[in-house]
Chain A
Amino acid sequence: MPSVHKAEPHDHAHAHGSELSETELRVRALETILTEKGYVEPAALDRLIETYETKVGPRNGARVVARAWSNPEYREQLRKDATGAIASMGFAGRQSEHMIAVENTAKIHNMVVCTLCSCYPWAVLGLPPVWYKSAPYRSRAVADPRGVLREFGVELPDETEIRVWDSTAEVRYLVVPMRPAGTEGFSEERLAALVTRDSMIGTGLPKSPAEAP
Chain B
Amino acid sequence: MSVKLMVVAGPPSAGKTSVIRQMIRHLRETEKVAFLKIDVVAAFENEELEDEFGIPTKKVYSGDMCPDHMSIMVIRDALEWAESTGSTVLICESAGLCLRCTPYFTNSLGICVMSSLSGTHAPLKMAPMIGLSDICIVTKTDLISQAEKEVFRECIRQVSPDMDIVETNAIQGTGMKYLFRRVDSAPVLDSMDDLELRGIPPLGVCTICIGKKSVGWQNHCGVLRRLDDDENIYRGE
A binds B: no
Seen from chain A, the residues whose Cβ lies within 8 Å of a Cβ on chain B are none
